[in-house]
């Protein structure tokens, strides 16, 4: 592949970075332009049929709508409904009863609850719901989005009952259990460090760790250690769900033992007793999300199997190797979250008409988010099916040779940056990683597992920086911010400042340093860890 072709393949990605971060083009416009660029390059430079690429576009639209936009809409509707019924005020009171310290609450929501949402549902819920709740508590909106993006980087590989990892194993004919162990080995350091970054982001720097160092360390170990043990003993399916519950329990216990209450980080909130019944009613949508997602997941095959038969396979993409796109109508997180929201709303005494009104407002508030995500997904499909994505990754393998493991995380991160999905990154580049391993050391299965693992782990890091993830964060936080501005009667100048703080360019620039740091760390672990973990 010539250097010119690789450069042309990179152009849509380069445009996204420059357009969003430098030129500050609105995300929906920048991503739409990226799609147009990718389509033109696919047809005129990569020699693809315009009709075939149009079918790739249609498959991208289908994927964006079902299940990605479905689950985003469901998650944000759930939050908006809880705000509408005033249950969020009760939830705030319950949260602040754990601790009035914003650092502890940030760990509880961004790190613990975010990991739980990733493990159960994925598809952006781990950023959308915790970030919106944090803004509802009065936290800085930019910091809330960035903290949730950073926190979500490490659980992504085991999200949605470990679909990214199990898909990768299936696609590459590798054993999922040792693959998941290697992923846990590679992510162990970042698992421990990530909650420290969450606290530093929310508290305004390293100084915020004073007084909460031990709870933060324990919160990191509460993911890293159980995750590794579960992968070693059972495999990947519970590798994030189980630890997320441990994380939240550890944070609550630490808050009670250490009595953390620094005036600098205290949040103003109502202090009153909340009865068990009132608390259950307020949290009912989130309780139902847990129950429904758990009981309809692959962990309960007696329920999951029949629900999974309710699906429709539609031939959309018409190119070489085309497979029908399958719409799963019931056993998908978005449907379960919607059901949880409506049932929870009834429990909270909201009328059906009221809930439809909230849903209508949710649709209205997400209109630009819809355009952005559809544009990102169709760009990913066109780049993948045209061979542009493979050209970029292949050039990296050719350029780095035996040093490739040091750069292998860039491939996984690139896939997630383009698609916004750990699963899609593994589908795109998992086979490339195993092919690279075979080029470096033919027949070395351990190296194939190692490089496949780093693709999956680094995909979460790329997702942190992905325009799709940023759009999800903005889509969730913007309505929560408007509600906060209205409720607190924030003066117009300050309100405009808060709104401008969550523009895509600002978020991308803020999260870039964490993205670079994580990529460097995982690259060093991948390269030097070979001598420790491979035998």
Dihedrals phi, psi of 313, to nearest 5 degrees: -95, 125
Summarize pLDDT for 428-453 with one digit per residue, the tens: 788 788 878 887 888 889 999 999 99
pLDDT at residue 429, as a whole number = 80
Mean pLDDT (whole number) for 59-87: 85
C-alpha gyration radius of the chain: 22
Q: The tokens of 63 are what?
A: 């994927």
Quote the tokens at residue 126: 């781990």
Helix (H) or strand (E) holding 312: strand 311-314
Sequence spans of domains, the chain: 3-533
- Find which of 15-24, 247-256, 372-381 is predicted with most confidence, using mean pLDDT: 247-256
Quick one: pLDDT band at residue 249, thresholds 50, 70, 90?
Answer: very high
- 3-state SS assignment for residue 311: strand
Q: What is the 3-state secondary structure (H, E, C) of 299-315?
A: CCHHHHHHHHCCEEEEC
pLDDT score of 382: 92
Lowest mean pLDDT among 43-52, 120-129, 333-342, 450-459: 120-129
pLDDT digits (tens, 9 = 90+) for 449-498: 999 999 999 999 999 998 888 988 898 888 888 888 888 888 888 888 88
The predicted-structure confidence for 146-198, as pLDDT tens digits, reads as follows: 999 999 999 999 987 788 888 888 778 789 899 999 999 999 999 999 999 99
pLDDT at 403: 93
CA–CA dist 365, 424 (Å, integer): 27
Answer yes or no: is pLDDT of 224 > 90: yes
First vs last Cα of the chain: how many Å apart? Answer: 34
In degrees rounded to 5, what are phi and psi of residue 107? -65, -45
DSSP states along 53-100? HHHHHHHHHHHIIIIIIHHHHHHHHHHHHHHHTTHHHHHHHHHHHH-S
Q: What is the C-alpha separation between 226 and 243, in angstroms, rounded?
A: 6
Residue-level pLDDT at 156: 93
Closest CA to 310 of 292, 296, 321, 289: 296
């Amino acid at each position: 592949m010539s250097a010119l072709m690789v450069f042309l393949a990179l152009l849509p990605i380069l445009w996204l970075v420059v357009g969003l971060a430098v030129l500050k083009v609105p995300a929906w416009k920048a991503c739409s332009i990226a799609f147009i660029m990718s389509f033109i390059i696919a047809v005129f430079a990569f020699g693809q049929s315009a009709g075939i690429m149009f079918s790739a576009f249609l498959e991208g639209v289908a994927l964006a709508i079902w299940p990605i936009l479905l689950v985003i809409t469901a998650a944000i509707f759930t939050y908006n409904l809880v705000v509408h019924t005033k249950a969020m005020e009760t939830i705030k009171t319950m949260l602040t009863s754990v601790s009035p310290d914003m650092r502890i609450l940030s760990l509880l929501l961004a790190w613990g609850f975010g990991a739980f949402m990733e493990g159960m549902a994925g598809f952006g819920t781990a950023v959308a719901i915790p970030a919106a709740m944090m803004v509802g508590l009065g936290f800085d909106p930019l910091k809330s989005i960035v903290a949730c993006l950073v926190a979500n980087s490490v659980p992504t590989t085991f999200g949605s009952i470990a679909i990214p990892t199990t898909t990768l194993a299936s696609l590459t004919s590798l054993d999922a259990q040792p693959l998941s162990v290697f992923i846990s080995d590679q992510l162990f350091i970042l698992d421990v460090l990530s909650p420290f970054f969450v606290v530093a982001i929310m508290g305004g720097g390293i100084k915020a760790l004073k007084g909460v160092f031990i709870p933060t360390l324990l919160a990191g170990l509460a993911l890293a250690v159980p995750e590794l043990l579960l992968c070693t003993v059972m495999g990947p399916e519970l590798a994030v769900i189980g630890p997320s519950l441990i994380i939240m329990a550890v944070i609550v216990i630490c808050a009670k033992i250490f009595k953390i209450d620094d005036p600098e980080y205290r949040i103003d909130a109502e202090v009153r007793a909340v009865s068990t019944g009132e608390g259950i009613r307020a949290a009912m949508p989130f309780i139902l999300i847990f129950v429904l997602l758990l009981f309809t997941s692959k962990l309960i095959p007696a329920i999951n199997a029949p629900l999974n038969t309710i699906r429709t396979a539609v031939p959309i993409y018409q190119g070489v190797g085309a497979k029908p796109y399958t719409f799963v109508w019931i056993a998908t997180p978005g449907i379960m979250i919607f059901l949880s929201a409506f049932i929870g709303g009834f429990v909270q005494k909201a009328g059906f008409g009221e809930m439809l009104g909230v849903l209508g407002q949710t649709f209205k508030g997400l209109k630009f988010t819809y355009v952005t995500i559809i544009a990102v997904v169709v760009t990913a499909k066109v780049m993948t099916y045209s061979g542009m994505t493979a050209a970029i990754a292949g050039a990296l393998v050719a350029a780095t040779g035996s040093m490739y493991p040091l750069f292998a995380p860039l491939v996984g991160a690139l896939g997630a940056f383009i698609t916004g999905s750990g699963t899609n990154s593994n589908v795109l580049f998992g086979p490339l990683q195993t092919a690279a391993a075979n080029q470096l050391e033919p027949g070395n299965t351990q190296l194939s597992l190692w490089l496949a693992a780093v693709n999956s782990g680094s995909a979460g890091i790329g997702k942190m920086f992905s325009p799709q993830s940023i759009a999800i964060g903005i889509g969730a936080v913007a309505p929560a911010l408007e509600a906060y501005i209205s409720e607190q009667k924030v003066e117009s100048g300050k309100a405009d400042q808060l709104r401008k703080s969550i523009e895509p360019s600002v978020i991308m620039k803020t999260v870039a340093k964490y993205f670079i740091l994580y990529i460097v760390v995982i690259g060093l672990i991948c390269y030097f860890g070979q001598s420790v973990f491979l035998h």
